[in-house]
Amino acid sequence: MELDFNLYMQDLVQNARNELTEAGYTEMLTPDEVDAHLNKEGTALVMVNSVCGCAGGIARPAAIHSLNYDKLPDQVLTVFAGQDKEATEQMRDKAPDFLPSSPSFAFFKDGKIVDMIERHQIEGHEIMSVITGLQAWFEEHGKEA
């Protein structure tokens, strides 16, 4: 039996995308989409998705379960590192004080970066600690859902 690596990776990536979009996240696939979403007034959570284990085991579940909260950002968005490279780079350009990392979360308010949860704050941590960090942003900056 021969495994087609490219087919396997396409399936893996699509499943990782679907987890977030089915939970209500909007994908930003191009730099123009990043600008259109992040230049809006209001708040936006961006998950920088990836195929690594800590993305699938911690970050995506935290991204999904964090939305079960009374206050939420105006937009929940995602870019996919290593897949939608130009869109990911455009989002990272809007957070110049933070090193590129994936998975990660970026929180924007009125088009400006407020804070990030970087990979080192995800990998090796409990899902609940990441959820708590996201919901702290929602509490401070979000609106009643």
54 classed as catalytic: yes
Cα separation, 86 vs 30, whole angstroms: 6
Distance CA 85, CA 28 (A): 11
The catalytic residue among 28, 34, 52, 55 is 52
The DSSP symbol for 74 reads S
Find tokens 């708040």 and name the residue.
43
Instruction: State CA 37 to chain mean position distance.
Output: 13
* Neighbour count for residue 26 (Cβ, 10 Å): 15
Residue 112 is among the residues annotated as catalytic for this protein = no
Q: Which of 13, 51, 54, 114 is catalytic?
A: 54
Q: What are the catalytic residues?
A: 52, 54
